[in-house]
Amino acid sequence: MIKNDIWINQMAQKGMIKPFEPRLVRKVDGLPVISYGLSSFGYDIRLSPAEFRIFRHIPGTVVDPKNFNPDNLEPTKLYSDSNGSYFVLPAHSYGLGVALERLEIPENITVICIGKSTYARCGLIANLTPGEAAWRGHLTLEFSNSSSADCRIYANEGVVQLLFFEGEPCQTSYETRSGKYQDQSEVVTLPRV
């Protein structure tokens, strides 16, 4: 069953989402922002300003998830103007960011991270990312710019929505099996095997 705002708020008070915004924020200091915070059946998390990396082509190399070359990911600059702080994801490229909020998922919950329609309408696709039962940390977020134009991705503003699904308690949670992405910090986490 999908969990509602009442449950999300109660669990956030117990530390499931930090920092937590108990309402959907659409303006900060009178200026419009891409919404973040609690919604009816989800929570919109923000993109951290700490780091964003873009895949780049290195002639003669192939991206290999079993032997990942960090040189294939280039850090990108955080820009700021009157609209806020943002990273630029070039046209037809792929990038990795990290969630500002830290999550502690309960053992009977799985979280699905989906893209926001505001970005989808600009051609920016957020990869569907799970947060498994008893997972902790800052989610590494994956974005594809499918448009023929560069796209801004705003830091400290809503970037993806989390949906929380409850199930029967599992036999082996992410924590008990010592999942390789447990306790990710607020930096982009590279592929691990």
- Kindly list the catalytic residues: 142
Contact 99, 45 (CB under 8 A): yes
Q: What is the spatial distance between Cα 149 and Cα 14, in angstroms, rounded to a whole number?
A: 42
3-state helix, strand, coil in the chain (%, to 5): 10, 45, 45
Q: Which residue, 139, 187, 132, is CA-closest to 160?
A: 139
CA distances from 153 to 31, 71, 122, 126, 179 (A): 17, 22, 10, 11, 29
Cβ–Cβ under 8 Å, residues 42 and 17: no
